[in-house]
Amino acid sequence: MTSSTGSWTASELPVIGAPMAGGATRPALVAAVASAGGFGFLAGGYKTPEALEAEMAALTVPFGVNLFVPGPSTLTEAEFRRYAEELADEGTPYGLELAGAPMVADDDDRWQGKLDLLLDRPVPFVSFTFGLPGSDVVRALADVGTQVLATVTTLGEAQAAVELGVHGLIAQGTEAGGHSGTHAPERPGAVPVVELVRQVAAGTSLPVIAAGGVSEASQVRELLGFGASAVAVGTVLLRTDESGASAVHKDALAAAGPDQTVITRAFTGRPARGLRNGFIERHEASAPIGYPAIHHLTRPLRAAAAAAGQPDQVHLWAGTGYSRARTGPAAAVITELASEL
């Protein structure tokens, strides 16, 4: 990928394997993206620093790392308890007592440990989602030669990131699969990727990586034409050979009819796009905003349901382009996405 300033020479093709936490992105996927001339990001979210370090050590190609920025939550204990009680019946078949689950609100995803690792073992790019890191973090990473990328979902978020001194922006459109990178989960923006790229490219002078709903070569060409320096894809890699997505997730993507994605907070307390299922239908209307407490509340349920092959209670993250998520080697997907350049 090369930026408009010519300073990005991380890969041959302007196609990026987006970070996908929760198991889908593993080193083999990042290596496969690189083998086709693209550039991949490891997903640092949810991992211990040790687990992230092991993934980094497994790679012999250049790669980036993505981290979740911990943020404040306004979820009250009373709202948490109400939702936990609402979910109680969901857990019963698996022997889970969700109504009595403790509220885990202070999990910072081992933020400092992972930053220390990235300062100790610098990588070319570190991207952040769920908010902006402090300017001290941006400076410290820059001092070790790392370019810092911020995920933004509105022009306002992009402008805040520019003020912070980041080196590039990931313009994540509302079509994107998985958690929205919104800096304001209680009032997320819903800007389509083409519109967002246009706005951010016109309103800032930083390189822009477009993300959200991309599944075809013509979209990659179009987004580069609108001013993106590179295009990131996630969902379209989920069913590939090197993806670590669960079998229940891969099968659900294959089985879903058209236009099945919705944005939901029911699983984690933070808006995310996934395939509509029974859990979302039963709980979306009453689900509170409150990451990470809601994520921790539903995690055992989602793990048990996935192990039991029950897609109805699993977070089936997917962007709007899921029907074109292909099987086979990930390298072939990257090659095809770049075929109109």
Which span (70-78, 81-89, 170-178, 290-298) binds ligand FMN, by CB under 6 A? 170-178
Q: Report the first-to-last Cα separation within the chain, whole angstroms.
A: 13
The two beta strands, 147-152 and 168-172, are: parallel
Instruction: Please select the residue that binds ligand FMN; options are 146, 151, 229, 260, rule is CB under 6 A.
Output: 151
Which span (1-9, 111-119, 131-139, 208-216) binds ligand FMN, by CB under 6 A? 208-216
Instruction: Please select the residue that binds ligand FMN; options are 17, 22, 131, 185, rule is CB under 6 A.
Output: 22
Site string for ligand FMN, 176-195 (x = CB under 6 A): xxxx-x--------------
CA distance 296 to 102: 9
Which span (28-36, 54-62, 95-103, 234-242) binds ligand FMN, by CB under 6 A? 234-242
**Side-chain half-sphere CA neighbours of 39 within 13 A:** 25
CA distance 71 to 52: 21
User: Does 228 sit near ligand FMN (CB under 6 A)?
Assistant: no
Instruction: For ligand FMN, give the closer residue by CB, 80 or 147.
Output: 147
User: Does 313 sit near ligand FMN (CB under 6 A)?
Assistant: no
Q: What is the DSSP string of 282-337?
A: HHGGGPPP-TTHHHHHHHHHHHHHHHTT-GGGS--B--TTGGG---S-HHHHHHHH
Q: How far is the CB of 284 from ligand FMN (least distance, A)?
A: 19
Query: Using CA atoms in the order 76, 80, 82, 88, what is the torsion angle rounded to 10 degrees?
Result: -170
Collapsing DSSP states into helix, strand and coil, what is residue 243?
Answer: coil
Instruction: Please select the residue that binds ligand FMN; options are 19, 38, 188, 288, rule is CB under 6 A.
Output: 19
Collapsing DSSP states into helix, strand and coil, what is residue 248?
Answer: helix
CA distance 314 to 258: 19
User: Does 213 sit near ligand FMN (CB under 6 A)?
Assistant: yes
Q: How far is the CB of 6 from ligand FMN (least distance, A)?
A: 25
Collapsing DSSP states into helix, strand and coil, what is residue 321?
Answer: coil
CB-CB contact of 94 with 301 (8 Å):
yes
- Whether cis (ω within 30° of 0) applies to the bond prior to 292 is yes
Instruction: For ligand FMN, give the closer residue by CB, 84 or 228.
Output: 228
Which span (79-87, 172-180, 196-204, 305-313) binds ligand FMN, by CB under 6 A? 172-180
User: Does 17 sit near ligand FMN (CB under 6 A)?
Assistant: no
Instruction: For ligand FMN, give the closer residue by CB, 19 or 49.
Output: 19
Q: How far is the CB of 180 from ligand FMN (least distance, A)?
A: 8
Instruction: For ligand FMN, give the closer residue by CB, 84 or 229.
Output: 229
CA distance 42 to 209: 16
* Residues in touch with ligand FMN (CB under 6 A): 18-22, 24, 43, 45, 66, 129, 151, 172, 175-179, 181, 211-214, 232-236, 317, 319, 321
